[in-house]
């Protein structure tokens, strides 16, 4: 029985900062951010947008054409949780009018949480093949004004319906996985910004890729030549290019030429270049980018996935694109969303970055911004009040 991704939705904030504008403000050569990191824009979440609203908008797209009563579980992956107790997915469950007979839970392991959710969803569907599971991965990446991580900030959400007889991608069972307790990136509960040892994190990302690919190869009997496209976790797009070159060198003794690099990962990078890091969502935003942007039909092609979450857990697995995947893919809405956003000035970005919500339970009405179909409208008595926008 084939199990995998039946649909995909991707959403990011309607506001962005041009990376050249950021470079100017920080007195850095723009080529460092554009070429060295490979980024063009950074999505900035206004106060009325958070991982719940981002995720609800992505889920609305993914659920198009799927009867709500088919959804037996909603797995919400985030490392930007809005509550220490309640799963953010429960707000999404209400906003999207999902059935009450539906499990909802939140999962966290840095950027890897989404892949854990996908694999758990596959297992749930294997037990009850008539059911479908909604996976929502949603995050806002924050490192701090003027920090080395600042140009890699961003936000976004991806939602995927996992089912038997999937229309987009059948997930293959073979995988390599590696867990190791390390301190490369973390965010203590009392902090709004991540703490990161950037260079160490990039080294670990690559080491764990090589290790998990070897495991995958042993388990599946497949090598690099059996995989046509690669979706990497995307903290910034150059990270994927460097990691892919390292994988080629380790497997084949030489780095890939620029044409091979373009064919194997080029189309997966477009959305990330415009949003920045969306943590748990980033790898699957890469898949949406590949499916939407590839000029070549992808039917029957194998896609390798490398998911890395600091701390750390890494996993390599693969899937095969299904016949007719372009039908109902919904690419036009995503391309339109990305081309119609609002550019921020550096002052506008910093004001959104510094906006703080009260922590004493007092009432706050959140200002109106350009958002998708849902917004955080107010905070009252420590409760977050979400509403649909028409």
Could you give the C-alpha distances from 50 to 43, 127, 376, in angstroms and in order?
12, 33, 7
31 binds ligand HMG, rule: CB under 6 A: yes
Piece of the chain touching ligand HMG by CB under 6 A; list 27-35, 325-333, 349-357, 371-379 = 27-35
Could you give the C-alpha distances from 313 to 78, 177, 192, 340, in angstroms and in order?
15, 7, 22, 36
Interface map 171-190 toward ligand HMG (x if CB under 6 A): --------------x-----
Applying CB under 6 A, among 47, 144, 198, 348 the residue interacting with ligand HMG is 198
Of residues 212-231, those binding ligand HMG (CB under 6 A): none
In the numeric block, the tokens 């991704």 are attached to 5
319 binds ligand HMG, rule: CB under 6 A: no
196 binds ligand HMG, rule: CB under 6 A: yes
Piece of the chain touching ligand HMG by CB under 6 A; list 53-61, 266-274, 308-316, 320-328 = 308-316
140 or 196, CB closer to ligand HMG? 196
249 or 383, CB closer to ligand HMG? 249
29 or 128, CB closer to ligand HMG? 29
At 225, is the secondary structure helix, strand, or coil? helix
Helix 113-127 × helix 282-293 angle, to 10° = 70
37 or 377, CB closer to ligand HMG? 37
Active site residues: 79, 111, 233
255 or 378, CB closer to ligand HMG? 255
DSSP state of 322: P
Measured CA to CA, the distance from residue 279 to residue 102 in angstroms comes to 26
* Residue-by-residue DSSP string for 112-127: THHHHHHHHHHHHHHH
Tokens of 389: 């926008």
Of residues 234-273, those binding ligand HMG (CB under 6 A): 235-236, 239
Measured CA to CA, the distance from residue 15 to residue 166 in angstroms comes to 33
- Mark out the alpha helices in 164-230 (DSSP H runs): 198-220
Q: How far is the CB of 280 from ligand HMG (least distance, A)?
A: 7
Of all residues in the shown chain, the one whose CB is closest to ligand HMG is 36
| 218: region left, alpha or beta (phi > 0 left; psi from -120 to 50 alpha) | alpha
Measured CA to CA, the distance from residue 366 to residue 364 in angstroms comes to 6
Residues that bind ligand HMG (CB under 6 A): 29, 31-32, 35-37, 79, 110-111, 148-149, 152, 185, 196, 198-199, 201-202, 205, 233, 235-236, 239, 277, 279, 308-310
């Amino acid at each position: 029985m084939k199990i995998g991704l039946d649909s995909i939705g991707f959403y990011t904030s309607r506001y962005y900062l041009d990376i050249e504008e950021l470079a100017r403000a920080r007195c850095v050569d723009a080529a460092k951010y554009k070429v060295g990191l490979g980024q063009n824009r950074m999505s900035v979440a206004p106060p009325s947008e958070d991982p719940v609203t981002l995720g609800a908008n992505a889920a609305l797209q993914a659920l198009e054409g799927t009867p709500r009563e088919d959804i037996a579980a909603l797995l919400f992956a985030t490392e930007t949780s809005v509550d220490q107790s309640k799963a953010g997915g429960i707000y999404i469950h209400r906003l999207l009018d999902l059935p009450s007979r539906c499990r909802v839970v939140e999962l966290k392991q840095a950027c890897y949480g989404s892949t854990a959710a996908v694999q758990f969803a596959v297992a749930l569907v294997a037990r009850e093949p008539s059911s479908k599971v909604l996976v929502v991965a949603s995050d806002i990446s924050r490192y701090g004004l003027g920090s080395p991580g600042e140009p890699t900030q961003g936000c976004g959400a991806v939602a995927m319906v996992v089912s038997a007889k999937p229309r987009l991608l059948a997930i293959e069972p073979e995988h390599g996985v590696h867990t190791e307790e390390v301190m490369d990136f973390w965010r203590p509960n009392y902090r709004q910004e991540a703490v990161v040892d950037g260079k160490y994190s990039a080294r670990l990302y690559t080491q764990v890729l090589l290790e998990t690919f070897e495991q995958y190869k042993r388990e599946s009997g497949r090598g690099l030549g059996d995989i046509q496209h690669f979706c990497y976790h995307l903290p910034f797009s150059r990270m994927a290019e460097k990691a892919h070159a390292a994988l080629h060198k380790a497997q084949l003794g030489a780095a890939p030429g620029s044409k091979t690099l373009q064919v194997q990962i080029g189309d997966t990078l477009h959305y990330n270049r415009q949003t920045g890091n969306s943590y748990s969502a980033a790898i699957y935003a890469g898949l949406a980018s590949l499916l939407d942007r590839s000029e070549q039909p992808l039917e029957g092609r194998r896609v390798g996935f490398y998911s890395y979450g600091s701390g750390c857990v890494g996993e390599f697995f693969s899937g095969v694109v299904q016949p007719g995947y372009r039908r109902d893919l919904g690419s036009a809405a995503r391309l339109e969303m990305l081309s119609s956003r609002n550019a921020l000035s550096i002052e506008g970005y910093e004001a959104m970055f510094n906006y703080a919500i009260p922590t004493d339970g007092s009432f706050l009405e959140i200002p109106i911004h350009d958002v998708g179909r849902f917004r955080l409208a107010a905070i009252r008595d420590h409760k977050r009040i979400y509403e649909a926008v028409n």
